[in-house]
Amino acid sequence: MTDEIRTTCAYCGVGCGILAKADGQGGVTLRGDPDHPANQGRLCSKGFALGETLSLDDRLLAPRINGIESDWDSALALVAERFSQTIATHGPDSVAFYVSGQLLTEDYYVANKLMKGFIGSANIDTNSRLCMASTVAGHKRAFGADTVPGTYEDLELADLVVLTGSNLAWCHPVLYQRIAAAKEARPDMRVVVIDPRRTATCDLADLHLALEPGSDVALFNRLLAAIHAGGAVNREYLRHVSGFDDSLRVALAEDGAATGLPPDQIDEFCQLWLGTEKVVTVFSQGVNQSSSGTDKVNAIINCHLATGRIGKPGMGPFSVTGQPNAMGGREVGGLANSLACHLDLENPDHRERLRDFWNAPAIPAQAGLKAVDLFDRVRSGHIKALWIVCTNPAATMPDANIVQEAIAGCDFTVVSDLTARTDTARLADVLLPATGWGEKDGTVTNSDRTISRQRAIMRAPGQARHDWDIMAEVGRRMGWTEAFDYSSPAQIFDEHARLSAIAAAEGRDFDISGLTGLGRDGYDALPPTRWPITAQGQQARFFADGGFFTDNGQARMIPVSARPPVAQTDAAFPFRLNTGRIRDQWHTMTRTGKSPRLNQHLGEPFLEIHPDDAAQLGIPPAGLVEVSSPAGRCILRALVTDRVRCGHVFAPMHWSGQSAPTGRIDALVSSIVDPVSGQPESKAAAVAIAPH
């Protein structure tokens, strides 16, 4: 038995602290860390079951080349050689990395530096594109930087919490528990849930608005009009804001009919909002995964800016991220259209600062390929060498069947992962064994900007290596010896922190310069720390007194009009398909699928369908149904329930499989994206349903 080690959960963006103890025989006992500010001792079912997911039965323990076990020297030599050759022959934009919000910040930093600083392309994108890219774009439009203004404490201090497009009870359970506890302590606190589906989160709701999918902009424009009509505009705060008149003009033209909600429900929501000073609007994938996701984010932010309800205790728009380190990935610039430390790719001064700091040949001036475009270019043959790290796009990208074929047809594909069994790993030319939770050492940032350490509690099995180490060695073998001369995550974190000081001097929000020079001991001992943290210590809240990151320092209200989902239902495909997570599974189940306890919750892929629709189609409860769209088909178990409305169905996104048709729901979702963020519309496909 080791002593208890403080670490952080592997799953969602709540970022719960864990105290874990290894038994020396591959087992781990764990409990919630009572001293971690995110969870204060709580854990959800997934976090509690982490110890059940560590078996080695499907672990990849040695590199493989074309399916045959090899060694690190041969595998890394081949990766470096093929990437170098491809770049020499076809240019830097002929290669791409597709990485993951599951990576630790240090892994992510090295991957981004290798691609943007040294290969010389911005073709690195991430599965976070499927998760919160619309929030990033909305934040940048409104604030001039990707800044999350609020904290978890604000959710407890609010008198009204509006949960928009978020099944918090299942997807961020500990945050839900915190709100539930606050509501119990203060019964006057109100909760509104805005979601087409009656989810478990509605148990906490005083008001549930089951709006039409994709109509959030119409609802928040009605709210902005009501704020104006009700005299709730904060004229004093508006001196920090531009775009109010144009945004209001567009909002006043909105009659709210697109929401499908009765006018009295919209009025009730507006009156609650207007009458409550302390409001936090939480939003998640129901907002982000939409062809108008960025506009939805800005419609929400507009209401908070117009009332000055931002940057103060218990007030503000609040994005909750799906993945454990989506925020860390944003901080290191892991998206194809961003740079490290929130520097702007389109700003020549920022590129120059970064090039000088990295001593890099050049920083690309053009944004790289966002996820959907990236796999499109793989399919067309323009991307000839692809490295996929810690993610499973052959199951999770929209048009998953096409993406699977594209990866299979790529000239050279490298996959780094824990297992060879994912839909994507099976397609690799070179398969590299990476370390996972419990073996890795580094940092993650949660949804309220708190940086926490993930610490190793056991040795890496077989030949598994850390992702930062694998990437750095490929960088060295490609000729950039000095730039990738890393020996520890502490060294990488220190470089990241030093770069943040330069970014802050350029007027960027991301500043962790107070965490430079920690050394290995200081890094090892680093407690959970919310940024910004400068040499002078932790700063006060963002935006309470203005101070935005735009050129003129003002926030921007953005005039936005409601647009329906792009895919239209019709006689051939009459149902609207919503997709999402369930309580006890995570992503494509490579880890949670190993826990018998977690598999007991909902053990097979299913389709929620309304009783009237099921009766009309002759589908009995628990009968098998075939679900099809122009993009693909699935066979699912019918879960007949009035949680969904007539004409609407819901299916989870976790199941995959190689033999079609299965529960791989993203095979049915088309590659329709938000024009600003590039995030796919994963919650509004048009499908047909028939008994199987």
Judged by the rule CB under 6 A, the positions of this chain that interact with ligand SF4 are 9, 11-12, 14-16, 39, 43-44, 46-47, 172-174
How distant, in Å, are the alpha carbons of 131, 342, 645, 680, 682 from that of 614? 31, 49, 12, 29, 23
Residue in this structure with the two tokens 């302590």, named with its chain if needed: 185
Residue 223: closest CA among 163, 138, 304: 304
Strands in 232-294 per DSSP E? 241-242, 279-283
How distant, in Å, are the alpha carbons of 67, 217, 376, 505, 541 from that of 89? 27, 47, 21, 39, 50
How distant, in Å, are the alpha carbons of 3, 33, 172 from that of 24? 11, 21, 31
Q: First and final CA of the chain: distance in angstroms?
A: 52
How far is it, in rounded angstroms, from Cα 649 to Cα 653? 13
The values of phi and psi at residue 479, to 5°, are: 115, 0
The nearest distance, CB 45 to ligand SF4, in angstroms, is 7
Pairing of strands 606-609, 28-32: unpaired
How much is the CA Rg of the chain, to the nearest whole Å? 24
The values of phi and psi at residue 362, to 5°, are: -170, 155
Would you say 16 or 372 has its CB closer to ligand SF4?
A: 16
Residues whose CB is less than 8 angstroms from the CB of residue 521 and which lie 6 or more positions away in sequence, other chains included: none
Residue nearest to ligand SF4 as judged by C-beta position = 47
Three-state DSSP string of 434-479: ECCCCCCCEEEECCCCEEEEECCCCCCCCCCECHHHHHHHHHHHCC
3-class SS of residue 312: coil
Q: How many Cβ atoms are within 10 Å of 532's Cβ, its own excluded? A: 20
Would you say 240 or 587 has its CB closer to ligand SF4?
A: 587
CB 59 within 8 A of CB 346: no
* Alpha-helical segments (H) within 37-167: 45-48, 72-90, 105-112, 133-143, 152-157
CB 320 within 8 A of CB 449: no
Is the preceding peptide bond at 313 cis, omega within 30 degrees of 0?
A: no
* Alpha-helical segments (H) within 574-654: 596-599, 611-617
| DSSP per-residue string spanning 13-63 | TT--EEEEEE-SSS-EEEEE-TT-TTTTT---HHHHGGGGG---TTB--S-
Residue in this structure with the two tokens 């299913």, named with its chain if needed: 606
Q: How many CA atoms lie within 13 A of 215 on its CB side?
A: 21
Beta bridge mates, 29: 21
Length of the chain in terms of residues written: 692
DSSP letter assigned to residue 3? P
How far is it, in rounded angstroms, from Cα 559 to Cα 244? 8
Would you say 47 or 308 has its CB closer to ligand SF4?
A: 47
Pairing of strands 160-164, 648-652: unpaired
Beta bridge mates, 412: 385
The nearest distance, CB 441 to ligand SF4, in angstroms, is 18
Residues whose CB is less than 8 angstroms from the CB of residue 511 and which lie 6 or more positions away in sequence, other chains included: 500, 501, 503, 504, 531, 532, 533, 534, 539
Q: How many Cβ atoms are within 10 Å of 74's Cβ, its own excluded? A: 12
